[in-house]
Amino acid sequence: MGILDSLENSPELKGLLGQLGAAVIPVVLGQVMGNGGQGGLSAIVAKLEQAGLGDQVKSWIGTGQNLPITAEQLQQVLGSDTVKQLAAKFNIPVDQLSKVLAQQLPAAVDGASPNGKLPHTA
Higher pLDDT, 58 or 118: 58
Nearest to 56 by CA among 94, 110, 121: 110
Is the C-alpha dihedral spanning 34, 31, 96, 47 positive or negative?
Answer: positive
For residue 59, being part of any structural domain is answered with yes
Mean pLDDT of 13-18: 50
Report pLDDT for 73. 93
Return the higher-pLDDT residue of 102 and 112. Answer: 102
Query: Which DSSP string do the residues of 27-90 spell out, in sequence order?
Result: HHHHHHHTTSSS-HHHHHHHHHHHTT-HHHHHHHHSSSPPPP--HHHHHHHH-HHHHHHHHHHH
Domain CATH for 65:
1.10.10.690
Q: Is residue 6 part of a domain?
A: no
* DSSP structural state of residue 120: T
- Give me the pLDDT at residue 35, please: 47
The mean predicted confidence, pLDDT, of the chain is: 74
pLDDT of residue 17: 52
Q: Count of domains in the chain?
A: 1
